[in-house]
Amino acid sequence: MRPVLITCALTGDSDTPSRSPHVPVTPEQIAADALDAAAAGAAIVHIHVRDPATGKGSREVALYREVTARIAESGRDVIVNLTAGMGGKLIFNGETPLPPAPGTDLIGATERMLHIAELRPEMCSLDCGSFNSGMADEIYVSTSPMVRQMAAQMRDLGVKPELEVFDFGHMRLACDLVAQGLVAPPPLFQFALGLRWGAPSDAATMLALRAMLPAGAQWVAFGAGAEQFPVAAQSVLLGGHVRVGLEDNLYRRRGVLASNADLVEDAVRLVETLGQRPATVAEARSLLGLDPRGK
């Protein structure tokens, strides 16, 4: 049986707390959900933080520091994967696009990496290109120089990047990062499928992206909402790994809200049903080329 990495993406930065009471908001809640997800079988927890007063996504380093400290102090071994994707939101003003509309949060590569440089988690995400978010006049901005600068800093810090691919151009850039030595082997690619307006979530697209992978790469595909588990199943069947969590999907089944631990339990069941087994944290570190002792 092949060990399959299970990642739980805990909270994201979308307006999901208004739609489910299970979405963690405070550092205490996020850390508790991370530990529950680890106990349920997740080897990796992907973490955003939120402003405890407003529930909105935040880039505040102190919030990341508190979450990671709470996880470390628990004694539970789990790989912490912090987002480095905040700070790319650009909202235009329709017919007069500039100056940007309120809600824009656009900063450079160095500022996006402040919490990564201070906390040095085992992993962090790296969005490998700009894209239309599907939300009115909003786009996510991640230029090629930004991506390369962030990748070089992650390499120098010894933090494993999770190369986020939303479309085929992103995949080409991510592969070039690997070819240029900006990503330590083995690289980890994550295909974010079915999001507007990126690559669709069908098996043909997944196969095409998989065919572009450099030698020795690990990969995972995830889908949002009702597509979360169909995409997870296809990913396992095609040799990839699994990501679930409330960042991407709020429901366990139609009309039934999930917790992060619920979704991890279902992912464990899926992996085992498909004839594989969830990777332990030690196996995850081995597959990803991380320090076997953790950090």
Is residue 294 in a domain? no
* Cα–Cα distance list, 103 to 50, 111, 230 (Å): 15, 18, 33
Q: What is the pLDDT of residues 215-242, one digit of tens each?
A: 999 999 999 999 999 999 999 999 999 9
Q: Which range (117-131, 169-183, 280-294) has the least confidence?
A: 280-294
* Cα–Cα distance list, 13 to 18, 48, 221, 290 (Å): 12, 7, 20, 27
Q: Residue 295: what pLDDT?
A: 65
Q: pTM for this one?
A: 0.96
Q: What is the pLDDT of residues 7-66, one digit of tens each?
A: 999 999 999 999 999 999 999 999 999 999 999 999 999 999 999 999 999 999 999 999
Is residue 293 in a domain? no
Q: Tokens at residue 257, please?
A: 């809200």
Q: Residue 290: what pLDDT?
A: 97
Reported in sequence order, the residue ranges of the chain that DSSP labels E, i.e. its strands, are 3-4, 6-9, 44-47, 49-50, 57-58, 79-82, 88-91, 105-106, 123-127, 131-132, 138-140, 160-165, 188-193, 218-223, 241-244, 251-253, 256-257, 277-278
Is residue 295 in a domain? no
Q: What is the pLDDT of residues 261-289, one digit of tens each?
A: 999 999 999 999 999 999 999 999 999 99
Is residue 196 in a domain? yes
Q: Tokens at residue 23, please?
A: 């979405």
Residue 122 near residue 290 (C-beta atoms within 8 A): yes
Closest CA to 284 of 43, 106, 39, 85: 43
Is residue 41 in a domain? yes
Sheet holding 138-140, edge to edge: 105-106, 88-91, 138-140, 131-132
Q: What is the pLDDT of residues 53-101, one digit of tens each?
A: 999 999 999 999 999 999 999 999 999 999 999 999 999 998 888 999 9
Q: Tokens at residue 233, please?
A: 């199943």
Quote the number of domains for the chain.
Answer: 1
Question: Measured between alpha carbons, how far is 112 from 108 in angstroms, rounded to an integer?
Answer: 6
Q: Residue 94: what pLDDT?
A: 87
Is residue 180 in a domain? yes
Q: What letter does residue 78 receive in the DSSP assignment?
A: -
Is residue 54 in a domain? yes
Q: Residue 151: what pLDDT?
A: 98
> How many beta carbons lie within 10 A of that of residue 270, not counting itself?
19
pLDDT band at residue 136 under the 50/70/90 scheme: confident
pLDDT band at residue 293 under the 50/70/90 scheme: confident
Is residue 89 in a domain? yes
| CATH code at position 230 | 3.20.20.70
Domain containing residue 49:
3-288
Q: Alpha helices, DSSP H only, in 95-195?
A: 109-112, 114-119, 144-157, 168-179
